[in-house]
Amino acid sequence: MAWPGGTGDGELEYYTTRPSNVSLDGSGHLVITARRETYTGDGTTRSYTSGRIQTSGLFQTTYGELEARIKWPAGQGLWPAFWSLGYDYDRVGWPNSGEIDVMETLGNNPFTAYGTIHGPSADSPKGYGMTTYTRSRVLLTAGFHVYGVIWSPSKIVFTLDGMPYAARSRASLGRGDRWAFNKPFYLILDLAVGGVWPGSPDASTRFPARMLVDWVRVYS
């Protein structure tokens, strides 16, 4: 499936279905490649392409451990992510679907990994977002690391290389916020370019930029 990008976050890429953006490297890795190139799809022209894959309609899960072993690229404006959406996203929309960001990283901050939950709130049409992070002593872009969550009916614990670093729970929510994580979710992997959070690439950003995924595992 292709996406025009810029999904409400100001992203600059067009997600394509081309092997040049999503492929296998012959060594057992999924490779998502962001490229600096002019590309037009669905009437939208953008200056970057990349890839996003998802398991909607193929696989969904409720509770357990979600993990992926990933190596992500450094570079200003790069935004790799391993995340999930409620199975009812197409019906109820966001943020009512709920969102679990198992891992988000910024290419210009290669020592830090972020985890976030998003859900609906009576106080805002954009819902709530509760973000946490961990700072590694080693350069995360230098090799593979395992990013995960331990998900139970009332709590989500974020992990890096099997070690918990933060948790968000039903009790953490503000007044008017709703816990949206007691239903099946599907998984998403992508490498975004630009956006309101990472900012745009600059002259120092190297393309093509590659995000390698060794494996994704779900334990129920």
Q: Catalytic one among 11, 13, 67, 104?
A: 104
| H helix or E strand, kind and range, residue 86 | strand 78-86
Which of 158, 151, 147, 119 is closest to 219 using CA atoms?
Answer: 151
The owner of tokens 């200056």 is 47
Query: Within 10 A of 206 (CB to CB), how many other CB atoms are there?
Result: 14
Q: Catalytic one among 11, 13, 67, 99?
A: 99
Q: State the distance between the two ends of the chain, measured CA to CA, in whole angstroms.
A: 28
> What does the angle CA 23 – CA 28 – CA 33 come to, to the nearest 5 degrees?
30
Catalytic annotation present for 104? yes
Pairing mode of beta strands 13-15, 44-50: parallel
Catalytic annotation present for 99? yes
CA torsion sign for 86, 71, 141, 20 is: negative
The span from the CA of 139 to the CA of 142, in Å, is 6
Q: Name residue 146's beta-bridge partners.
A: 69
Q: Which two structure tokens, joined as six digits, stand for 110?
A: 């290669």
Residues recognised as catalytic: 99, 104
